[in-house]
Amino acid sequence: MTTIIKLKIFPSSAETEIEKVEEKIREKLKQLESINIHSFEKEDIAFGLKVLVLTVLIPDEFSPSTLEEKIKEIDEVSNIEVVDCRRALA
């Protein structure tokens, strides 16, 4: 089975280039073989602050906390919020 996780990833500041954060996340997640990136979206929050909304597919045996820890290793990421987590029906 597969789990679909949607995360909001907050940059460390409004001046942070969100595209560079996305690139770094892609590089980090390449290290985790079982992760399948479904999509990245940019969302305006307030006062020029944008967040990334990442949707990934992971196998059930993979821990979502491992995914969060890997992304939090990036200096430009200040916080991560799990927006949705559900099993994919195939």
The 10s digit of each residue's pLDDT in 33-81 is 889 999 999 999 888 889 999 999 999 888 888 889 999 999 999 999 9
pLDDT for 63? 84
Query: What confidence score (pLDDT) does residue 71 get?
Result: 95
Distances (CA, A) of 12 to 1, 21, 77, 78, 85: 34, 10, 5, 5, 24
pLDDT tier at 90, thresholds 50, 70, 90: low
Residue 14's φ and ψ, nearest 5 degrees, are -70, -25
Domain containing residue 63: CATH number: 3.30.70.60
Give the global pTM: 0.89
Compute the radius of gyration of the chain from its Cα atoms: 13
Number of structural domains the chain divides into: 1
Parent domain of 53: 2-88
Checking if the pLDDT of 14 tops 80, the result is yes
Give pLDDT, residue 28.
93
